[in-house]
Amino acid sequence: MMKTESIYKYILEPSGNGRKYHPCPHCGAYKFTWYIDVDTGLPLADYVGRCERINSCGYHYPPREYFRNLKINNKKNMNENELKGTTSVVEEERVNRRYPKSVDYAKNALSYFLVTVFGKQKVMDAFQKYDVRTSTLFRKDNKYGTVFIMRTKDCLIRQVKEMAYDPNTGKRVKEGQSVFKYDYKTNSYQIDNDGFRILYAGKSLMKDYNFENKLCFFGEHLLAGEVNKPIAIVESEKTSVICDICMPDYIWLATGGKNGCKWTTEEVYQVLKDANQPIILFPDLNATEDWSEKAEILLAAGLDVSLYDLEEQEGITKEDKVKGLDIGDYLIRYWKENYPEDGEIIEEVKCKKANIPQLSNMLSSLSPQKEPTTIEELGKTIDHKEVDSLLPNKSSASVSGIDLSVISNIE
């Protein structure tokens, strides 16, 4: 049995009932009939329909073509989003523009503190190795924040993390503690007591808030090429830098947080498998149980993993556990006690005073008197006749239509 138009889901808008033609998307003539939904009476789209100028135009866009193209476009968009998600990269040029490599490390709160413990050279070497930079977003006691750059093994930048540190303690400035934060609206620093202290800047650097970051280990770029050292993993980026200074026989990576870079997913831990080296996990105090479970995942994936349990070590106090200290805190304490001579203060780079001898001589030759404000002070002789010649002549009846007889004598 042949189907009639009335039993289709979408039909050409019937004539009658005050139906009006619409402009044709092809020829522009008001001879275009929409395809409408039978249930709702609404058109599919303003370009889905038929031009009644069949011979001169012939435009016809049926519903089946509309849905076929819609399906194709949806699939294309999904593929583009998947591709975007797997290749997310923060451009090197944009990072360098905001956080220059050439910087006064005495102005960086974290490096300023670490130098007081380990000395300038060790800290500078570690900062350069891990490409740690300075953030002017935060300021504490005239020192600025720290930038940690997450680079893949191929040196691609996956994320940029700005953090506020206290230059006196080397501790992260947390919520509830005061810090100056730069306000881009007023172009000035404002005191902030309870705002955020960590900024993930990848999306803002790329000016794309749909940008999906695929995170990696902090320090992962150190796994490029042949790896000939065991790999050690900690939570904090700061701790990985400290450990690299104190225990350089390991390659130190950081997860960037408790769950951090999702380091127990295959996409992230694959670089550990490729390195083919023993892996030691160094969890913070009170995180041992959680990291033990994560170690099981890595073991099941075939990695050679062991765990260093801080809580089992001698000298760990209840107060330490409450604070949730990590291996970096103990290394700082150890270094202060055993190598106090290493600590130093970085000399800050100050703005030089310009010296222009010729200009200095000119200025020094000036008398300390005040600047002259009258002719007499300038030392010039005044000729009253010359002054009078500049004034209008009273005998003239008018000048340019102005009656000068009303002007009184000027002596």
Residue 365: C-alpha distances to residues 71, 166, 355 (Å): 85, 49, 16
Higher pLDDT: 358 or 68? It is 358
Instruction: Say if residue 79's pLDDT is above 70.
Output: no
List CB contacts of 22: < 8 A, sequence separation 6 or more: 30, 32, 33, 34, 46, 49
Express each pLDDT in 270-323 by its tens digit: 999 999 999 999 999 989 999 999 999 999 999 999 999 998 998 899 899 888
Task: Write down the pLDDT at residue 380.
Answer: 58
136, exposed or middle or buried, with CB in 10 Å at 0-12, 13-18, 19+? middle
Domains and CATH numbers, the chain: 9-85 (no CATH), 92-342 (3.40.1360.10)
Mean pLDDT of the chain: 84
In 255-354, at which residue ranges do the beta strands (DSSP E only) sit? 279-281, 305-307
pLDDT tens readout for residues 369-386: 655 555 555 555 556 666
Q: Which residues pair with 149 in a beta bridge?
A: 160
pLDDT digits (tens, 9 = 90+) for 181-219: 998 888 899 999 877 889 999 888 888 766 777 889 999
Over residues 229-275, the pLDDT tens digits come to: 999 999 999 999 999 999 999 999 999 987 788 999 999 999 999 99
pTM for this model (two decimals): 0.68
pLDDT band at 1 (very low <50, low <70, confident <90, very high): very low
Number of H helices, E strands in the chain: 13, 16
Residue 364 pLDDT:
86
Burial 374-401 (b: 16+ CB within 10 A, else e): eeeeeeeeeeeeeeeeeeeeeeeeeeee
Q: What is the pLDDT of residues 58-76, one digit of tens each?
A: 888 888 888 887 776 666 5
Instruction: Name residue, tokens 């008001």.
Output: 30
Q: Which pLDDT band holds residue 88 (cuts at 50, 70, 90)?
A: confident
Contact (CB, 8 A) for 1 and 23: no
**pLDDT band at residue 144 under the 50/70/90 scheme:** very high
For 290-322, b where at least 16 C-beta lie within 10 A, e where not — what string? Answer: ebeebbeebeeeebebeeeebeeeeeeeeebee
Q: What is the dihedral of CA 285, 288, 290, 293, to 10 degrees?
A: 170
CB 386 within 8 A of CB 392: no
Nearest to 34 by CA among 16, 15, 50, 10: 50
